[in-house]
Structure 1
Amino acid sequence: MRIAETSDLWWKNAVVYCLDPETFFDDDGDGTGDFGGLIQRVDYLAALGVTCIWLMPFYPSPDRDDGYDITDMYGVDPRLGTLGDVVEFIRTAKDRGMRVIADFVINHTSDKHPWFKESRKSVDNPYRDYYVWRKDTPPDTSEQVVFPGEETSIWTQDKATGEWYLHMFAKHQPDLNVANPKVRDEIAKSMGFWLQMGLDGFRLDAVPFFLELQGVSKEDAAKIDPHDYLAALRSFLNRRNGSAVLLGEVNLPYKEQLKYFGGPDGNELNMQFDFLSMQNLYLSLAREDARPLAKTLAGRPAIHPDNQWAMFVRNHDELTLDKLSDEERAEVFAAFGPDPDMQMYGRGLRRRLPPMLDGDPARIRMVYSLMFSLPGTPVLFYGEELGMGEDLRAKGRSAVRSPMQWTDTANGGFSTAPADKLVAQVVDGYFGPKNINAAQAKRDPDSLWNFIAALIRSYRESPELAWGDFELIKQSNPGVLLHSCTRAGSTLVLAHNMAAQPASVSAKVSSPEDPEEAFGGAILRDLLDGDNVPLADDGGFELELERYGYRWFRIQHPADRRI
């Protein structure tokens, strides 16, 4: 395919890197990461091959939910820097060829937000309808609570007026009323502000919750179609910045996710995380059987050409397994999180990948090779490129949000502050900075860092992965996932052995042309660091995979001019 085709819809083959400014690098030595430190580490991200940086919330906040409880949508938490620091960071990132997107929380604010402070004062306050209130006593809603064990209801009674306000998450995070046009205008205005500051889009948190219109009166709900609102946000975004992107967190079945893309028009979210593939990846890893993941990928629906799936191994939250059956989830728990302290809410894991796989280098690399080879846009969470582990001493999701490990010195080089002044503890033990750190990894040609940097180069040079048609290739070994991605006559063949035993693969690639002649003189050209594989005239080939082995190939015909 023509490489020029990939430049307009940049998000379709980007490499996204998610980080939290407060745990990435501390420049001023107060124990908290900041934008000054982030600027100092921009070149590190560029060297890795990142093309888009995703910032977790950096807005003013009481920080009771890692910044997702916001008090000012236009500001910067003073612990992290100033608005000027943010603009300098964005400018520096763009100078190195990277775009920047940021978390944007539409569903709720902090209860310390000026809007909510006004809203709770009286039933006739001008800001009352910025949030969702009810006069009558709500029914039992314990089954709707998102964080079991932390809340018992999605409604809390407020003393000032005696009425109840809605909070799908914690009670200190009251839900905004998006049925109110003033709220919608405020959201658009604040998004426009950050676009003007240089952002290239937003990752929208908890999208289904703010579109559900839970608790809104029937009269008000009838005035707005939630998906029309999402489409209007996308339209507004692209009027302000034609290449801006909306990446949505929508953990729903594929059929429901299609609606959030905008259906056949593709005019709502540009991208969505593929939670189903991620969850079935872990089921396949637990069983050492590729079939659960293969079945999921085969059932993934076609989407509009402008849309894309975001592929990930882990993110900043608990590793949710909520779409697996109880029995399947129990299998994954037994394999990767048998200790109840490793689990969260009965549905997820608060662990990073390397400790779950007992630090097995071959298996870890196979998983990341697989992630980059699946059709979609890969998303990395900070520290994954090093093989960082979790800190189970930390509470809840914070276990995977420990400070970035830069060196083997005090505090892992994250900060010069005393250890007891750090925003979070540094991981200890084998996965701590003595063994796992960026300075060492960058200089070791055999490190995971250099392996992932090589994967990124291969991914960026293989637009078929992001733009092509996905197809499972038939073969008999249940431990092997064998698939192809084809675009404009160019085909990649990708093989991953999810089992601890070596695997022999015998398979055939298909062609719309005469199968007896289509592959005459062609080979499977290796794209990583292995040997080429002969291809029979009818597309047949044989392949040996080591335990947790992986191979990337492109079908190369004699007349091909690719290098």
Structure 2
Amino acid sequence: MERKWWKEGVVYQIYPRSFYDTNGDGIGDLRGIIEKVPYLKELGIDIIWLNPIYASPNDDNGYDISHYQEILKEFGTMSDFEELLEKLHEVGIKLVMDLVVNHSSDEHPWFVESKKSKASPYRDYYIWRGPSEEGKEPNNWRSFFSGSSWQLDETTGDYYLHLFSKKQPDLNWENKKLREEIYRMMHWWFEKGIDGFRMDVINLISKVEGLPSAPKEEEGPDGYAWGGNYFVTGPKVHDYIKEMNREVLSKYDVMTVGETCDVTVEEGILFTGENRKELNMVFQFEHVNIGQGREGKWTPIPWKLTELKRIMDKWQTALHGKGWNSLYLNNHDQPRQVSKFGNDTVYRKESAKMLATYLHTLEGTPYIYQGEEIGMTNVYFEDLSHYKDLEILNKWEEIKRTKSLTEEELLSGVHVNGRDNARTPMQWNASLNAGFTTGVPWLEVNPNYTTINVEEASKDSNSILNYYKQLLALRKKHLIMAYGQYHLILPEHEQIYAYTKTLESETWLVLLNFSGEEALFQKPEEIEVVSSPQLIIANYPVEQMPDLNTIALKPYEARVYKIS
């Protein structure tokens, strides 16, 4: 077992736009994060992952970067950033930035130059193609944000590739000069003192040569098809990341996590293998994608606990001793975890604590998304006009053309899976706008802020917030939480998720009821328990010396015992 700070730490993800606003413009800012450093320190986190704060026209909330070494004015200045970094380091918290290098903004100077003519020295920084023989787009790939992945540029008559918004042209990683520019920029940030990068859609940077169309039978009503086979974990992606590691990452003691959609366990081991010299860990999406219907996330269907267990067991088992897991149930692109995996009404507190227990006892590095620690929930706005997310708005435009869903169906899908569920402002107190801003918030605050907020949770010894503090304090004391080997028990049980964690001679038993009904745990014979098991943590009051052979678990109950 090789000990590393990024394995033992807990990451807290901050979406700056929605965290805390100090100047009343309705948008969170860097000074807001500086002000909340004592809160973060008290919570017990070790690392912050900051969503993009770079200069950007904000077509996709900062994931369209127009300058990689400047701060977006509405967030503050470079000196604000330097002060934040210093304040975090003073209290022992590390800072990981977002690295967005699959694409830039169409307002980045590279693209502005690239567009000017086919002879531009920057032309090859992006992926340009002429029209097809029929005078249409070069291929039939659909963008992640609906419609074609290609945009015609009138100046030269060519199309440029954009797997996301048309204001997010894809960078051409085949170009060595471009890669060198990216590595220089990464060095610049590391020399400034940051502690790592979370790499946005990093497994999309290599495209299959020739950019072939997807099979015609895969096309939807709009005439476009998911072309993922040609750009997800493409042919040269490992070469590029090995080069990045060799040229930049290996020169610093930093943390790296790659966002890797549709990645398999086998690929996960290649990206994170300790002898591979690529990344420390990846975000995989299998577990958060459960419960998707015919139109994906927009048509949610019920999911089964056995399905979640199968996916997580696969990742926990396969990466043990070979790579490293990142542990998350929500982030800025996902619905709130208590709304998706728990119960955000009757058992909000109990299920939020149960999910936290689950996440922090698996093998890997846990990520807390802002507001998760107080049990923030999805927001159920009454119509689509309240939402700001580009993905939602583009989907609405698409279904108006294709009639694949009604407005009501889309709205109910947005209520379950829309990205704005995670982006409503952080709920600090019960005052106007949840204490997030004195102005008009850029996105409406969830109306339940009067009862769900930091101030309220701080006063309640039984709150979700105080439970998180307890869990994080335990993690600092017990290496078994990060490094213990996971072993699933009762794989077919549809209510109880149970497993053991073992590190050297110590074993813990983790019992989680994922349902709103009482569930009976009956210990399998092969699990040996010492005569006096020790309760480590529980989200309901528990008698110290229960009979572990049979336990009636209350709705969403969580218990962790040291059994050897």
**TM tier, smaller:** 0.7 to 0.9
SS at match of 2:151: strand
Q: For 1:78-99, what per-residue CA distance to the aligned partner results, in whole angstroms no more than 9, with x for missing partners? A: 1111111111101111111111
SS at match of 1:544: strand
For residues 11 and 271 of structure 1, what CA distance do their matches in structure 2 show? 10
Q: For 1:98-122, what per-residue CA distance to the aligned partner results, in whole angstroms no more than 9, with x for missing partners? A: 1110111010011011000000000
Structure 1 contact 134–164 (Cα < 8 Å) conserved: yes
Structure 1 contact 108–173 (Cα < 8 Å) conserved: yes
SS at match of 1:528: strand
For residues 185 and 368 of structure 1, what CA distance do their matches in structure 2 show? 41
1:264 to partner: Cα distance: 7.2
**Partner of 1:541 in structure 2?**
549
**Partner of 1:472 in structure 2?**
488
**Partner of 1:551 in structure 2?**
559
Unaligned runs of 5+ in 2: 213-230, 294-299, 393-418
Q: 1:74 and 1:251, CA in 2 relative to 1: closer, same or farther beyond 3 A?
A: same
Structure 2 contact 274–322 (Cα < 8 Å) conserved: no
Name which of 195, 200, 219 aligns with 1:200: 195
TM-score with structure 2 setting the length: 0.81
Structure 1 contact 266–303 (Cα < 8 Å) conserved: no
Residue 255 (structure 2) pairs with residue 245 (structure 1):
yes
**Partner of 2:71 in structure 1?**
76
1:139 to partner: Cα distance: 5.3
Name which of 362, 366, 371 aligns with 1:374: 362
Q: 5 Å matches for 1:401-420?
A: 401-417=423-439, 419=440
Residue 243 (structure 2) pairs with residue 232 (structure 1):
yes
1:549 to partner: Cα distance: 1.1
For residues 91 and 29 of structure 1, what CA distance do their matches in structure 2 show? 25
Name the % identity: 31
Structure 2 contact 12–368 (Cα < 8 Å) conserved: yes
SS at match of 2:73: coil
The total of aligned residue pairs comes to 497
Residue 83 (structure 2) pairs with residue 88 (structure 1):
yes
**Partner of 1:22 in structure 2?**
17
For residues 338 and 262 of structure 2, what CA distance do their matches in structure 1 show? 21
C-alpha root-mean-square deviation of aligned residues, in Å?
3.1
Structure 1 contact 405–412 (Cα < 8 Å) conserved: yes
**Paired amino acid for 2:286:** L
TM-score with structure 1 setting the length: 0.81
**Paired amino acid for 2:500:** S
Residue 120 (structure 2) pairs with residue 125 (structure 1):
yes
1:135 to partner: Cα distance: 2.1
**Paired amino acid for 1:101:** V
Q: 5 Å matches for 1:1-400?
A: 6=3, 9-137=4-132, 141-142=139-140, 144-148=142-146, 152-212=147-207, 225-241=236-252, 243-258=253-268, 260-261=270-271, 265-280=275-290, 290-300=305-315, 301-303=317-319, 305=321, 307-319=323-335, 356=344, 360-391=348-379, 392=381, 393-395=386-388, 396=392, 397-400=419-422
For residues 86 and 354 of structure 1, what CA distance do their matches in structure 2 show? 36
Residue 446 (structure 2) pairs with residue 424 (structure 1):
no
Instruction: Decide which moves more: 109-118 or 478-487.
Output: 478-487
SS at match of 1:527: strand
Unaligned runs of 5+ in 1: 320-335, 337-348, 557-563
Structure 1 contact 486–492 (Cα < 8 Å) conserved: yes
1:372 to partner: Cα distance: 2.0
Q: 1:379 and 1:121, CA in 2 relative to 1: closer, same or farther beyond 3 A?
A: same
**Paired amino acid for 1:199:** I
Structure 1 contact 523–533 (Cα < 8 Å) conserved: yes
1:412 to partner: Cα distance: 1.5
Name which of 449, 453, 458 aligns with 1:437: 453
1:46 to partner: Cα distance: 1.1
Q: For 1:273-328, what per-residue CA distance to the aligned partner results, in whole angstroms no more than 9, with x for missing partners? A: 24223345999x98685322222233235237473211112111145xxxxxxxxx
For residues 115 and 161 of structure 1, what CA distance do their matches in structure 2 show? 16
SS at match of 1:208: helix
